[in-house]
Amino acid sequence: MADLAPLSLNDGKTIPRLGLGVWQVPEESVADVVSTAIGIGYRLIDGARIYGNEAGMGEGIRASGVARDELFVTSKVWNEDQGYDATRRAVEGSLKRIGVEYLDLCLIHWPCPAQDKYVETYRALMDARADGQIRSAGVSNFQDAHLDRVIKELGEAPALNQIELHPAFQQAQMRAADEERGVLTQSWSPLGRMTMFEAPEIKAIAERIGCTPAQVILRWHLQLGVSVIPRSTNAGRLKENFDTLDITLTEADMAAIAGLDQEDGRIGPNPDEFEGN
C-alpha cells in the first residue's frame, strides 16, 4: 500500500497522512464509527470539544483494542475557551472526556481575532505540552498574519494548521504560507460537502481509474502533501476512503483538478471575521 509513511511535523513528531474526522458524528454512534475506522487501519482520529462527542470518541478508541501509542488523537480549544487559564482547563476537560492521558495534537479551533486571545491561548498550549498533556501544539483556520504574530511573540511556529481545503477552494496561497513557515497543512471538509462529485473532470478521472469521485478528491489532497481528515459514518465509505492510499493520480489529473478552484468556493466562515461561540 502506498503513502503509509507519516508526515513530519516541525517539532520532530509525525502525523498520519489520512485520518477520520468526527465533526457532526452523533455521540450515540461515534464510538462504533471510531472503532470501525481503527479496525480498517485509521490511526488518526480528529475531534473537538465543540463537536459534543469526545466521550464517545474515547469509548471507540478503547473498544478498538489498538494500543494508545499506536494512535494519533487530536482535539481543539473552542472559541469561548480561549485565554491562558481557560485553555489549560479546556485541555484538561478534553483529556477527561476522551479518557486519555495525553493528546497527540491540540489546536486552537479559530483565531477569533476580535477577542485578541489567540497568542496567550497558544502559550497555554506550549505549557500544556511542557507538562505532558499534549505532544504537539497547532492551530486551525489561521491566516498568515495570525501565524506570523504567534511566531513573532512566542518564537515558535505551530506544528500544523488545519484549514478548509477542497477542489473548489484550494487555498494555494495559504498552503504556501504554511510551507514557508514550516507548518504542515491539514484539510478539513476535504470533500467540499460533495459539491464537486459531479464535475466532469472528477468523474472522468474516477471512471478511468475505476474508483469513486471521493477517492479521486482525497487522493488529490494526499498528492498535495497535506494531511486529510474525511468524515463518514458508513463502514463501506470508511473503507473506500482509506483505500485512497492505493490510488495514484497523474500530473494531468492534478492539473485538471487545479482548474476547479473557485474564487468564491469557501463553504465555511471567514477566519478573519468568525467569532462564533
Report the catalytic residues. Answer: 51
Q: In what order do the strands lie in the sheet with 72-77?
A: 20-21, 44-46, 72-77, 103-108, 134-140, 160-164, 184-188, 227-228
Residue with cell 481557560: 86
Q: Are residues 242 and 20 in contact, defined by beta-carbon separation less than 8 angstroms? A: no
C-alpha separations of 79 from 64, 83, 140, 220, 267 in Å = 31, 9, 11, 31, 19
Q: How far apart are CA 49 and CA 21, in angstroms?
A: 13
Q: How far apart are CA 181 and CA 163, in angstroms?
A: 15
Q: Which residues contact 219 (CB under 8 A, 6 or more apart)?
A: 244, 247, 248, 249
Phi, psi of 182 (to 5 degrees): 75, 25
Q: Around 160, how many Cα atoms within 13 Å sit in the side-chain half-sphere?
A: 32
Look up residue 69 and give its DSSP letter. Answer: G
- As a 3-state breakdown, the chain gives helix, strand, coil percent values, each rounded to 5, of 45, 15, 40
